[in-house]
């Protein structure tokens, strides 16, 4: 028996070891390295090696840099509006396409196409469509006698333009998850409710919504974390303009680390980014647990 147990442990470790090595090299080591680097000053293009500065980089972003707070506020607004709209539209589409009608499968496939496109390709596609002079959207508006819209060059409109594209691209994710949740609901509960005289709204509020709430919370958390990392749309559509009005925290991190080569500050803002994401995730999950 001891020999068999030892051999089983050996086999387990043989399967686990490659994954552990990969995790160590690709996740844990970069995290530790960037944490150490965040405590230094290192302009890689002019300094041969990093210089220890302690928490100065964190103090700079938190107390001396209003741009950090503007980008954080813009990103939070972007996440809040985009995810809520995606959830509502996804819920409506999932409910409609869970009903039986001719052509249902066709519409299910069509609605999934935006999600299958690479984000950077989506960004450049919409950039061409939103062009003020030759873009498809403004051409349609001018054809029907309306003035073109400054989709990406007006500081008030540009943030909502990014949200519009995000909603177009990621509502299918919400739709797909909620459609699966609808199809997994037990039919017996609705039959019993119908016998008791419940109408469609009462069934949705008292049966459907409570049963799919865990799915709603899960997909909302996934989308919120993903949307918080907003980069491709900013890079491809607005370039953070006009006047920095659409600069996200991810794009600012990219500028500091990849364009200006301030690796110490770039690492510090990356860690602040991670901490904010953790706070967001913990807050959403704990709130869901309290409501349950």
Longest C-alpha distance within the chain, in Å?
Answer: 85
Per-residue pLDDT band at 172 (split at 50, 70, 90): very high
Identify whether the C-beta of residue 230 lies closer than 8 Å to the C-beta of residue 167: no
Per-residue pLDDT band at 23 (split at 50, 70, 90): confident
The CATH number of domain 66-291, selected from 1.10.10.60, 1.20.20.10, 1.10.260.40, 1.10.3720.10: 1.10.3720.10
Identify whether the C-beta of residue 230 lies closer than 8 Å to the C-beta of residue 72: no
Q: Can you tell me the mean pLDDT for 261-277?
A: 94
Q: Where are the domains of the chain?
A: 66-291
pTM: 0.87
- According to the model, what pLDDT value does residue 190 have? 87
- According to the model, what pLDDT value does residue 13 have? 79
- Enumerate residues 6+ apart whose C-beta is below 8 A from 28: none
Q: Which of helix, strand or coil describes residue 52?
A: strand
Q: Tell me what the pLDDT averaged over the chain comes to.
A: 90
Spatial CA neighbour of 86 closest among 188, 141, 198, 166:
166
Per-residue pLDDT band at 2 (split at 50, 70, 90): low
- According to the model, what pLDDT value does residue 292 have? 60
Report how far residue 5's alpha carbon sits from residue 22's, in angstroms, rounded to the nearest whole number: 26
Element housing 41 (H / E): strand 40-41
């Amino acid at each position: 028996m001891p020999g068999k147990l030892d051999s089983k442990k050996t086999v387990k470790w043989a399967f686990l070891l490659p994954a552990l090595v990969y995790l160590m090299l690709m996740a844990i080591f970069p995290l530790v390295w960037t944490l150490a680097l965040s405590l230094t000053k290192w302009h890689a293009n002019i300094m041969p090696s990093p210089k220890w500065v302690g928490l100065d980089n964190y103090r700079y972003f938190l107390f001396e840099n209003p741009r950090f707070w503007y980008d954080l506020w813009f990103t939070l607004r972007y996440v809040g509006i985009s995810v809520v709209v995606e959830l509502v539209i996804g819920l409506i589409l999932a409910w409609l396409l869970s009903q039986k009608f001719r052509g249902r499968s066709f519409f299910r496939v069509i609605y999934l196409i935006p999600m299958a496109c690479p984000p950077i390709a989506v960004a450049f596609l919409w950039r061409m469509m939103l062009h003020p002079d030759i873009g498809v959207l403004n051409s349609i508006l001018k054809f029907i006698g309306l003035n073109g819209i400054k989709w990406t060059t007006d500081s008030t409109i540009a943030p909502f333009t990014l949200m519009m594209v995000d909603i177009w691209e990621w509502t299918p994710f919400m739709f797909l998850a909620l459609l699966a949740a609808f199809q997994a609901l037990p039919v017996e509960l609705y039959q019993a409710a119908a016998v008791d005289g419940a109408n469609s709204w009462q069934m949705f509020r008292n049966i459907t919504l409570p049963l799919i709430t865990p799915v709603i919370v899960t997909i909302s958390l996934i989308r919120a974390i993903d949307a918080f990392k907003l980069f491709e749309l900013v890079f491809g559509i607005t370039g953070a303009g006009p006047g920095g009005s659409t600069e996200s925290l991810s794009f600012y991190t990219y500028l500091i680390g990849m364009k200006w080569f301030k690796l110490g500050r770039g690492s510090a803002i990356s860690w602040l980014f991670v901490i904010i994401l953790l706070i967001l995730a913990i807050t959403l999950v704990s709130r869901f647990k309290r409501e349950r």
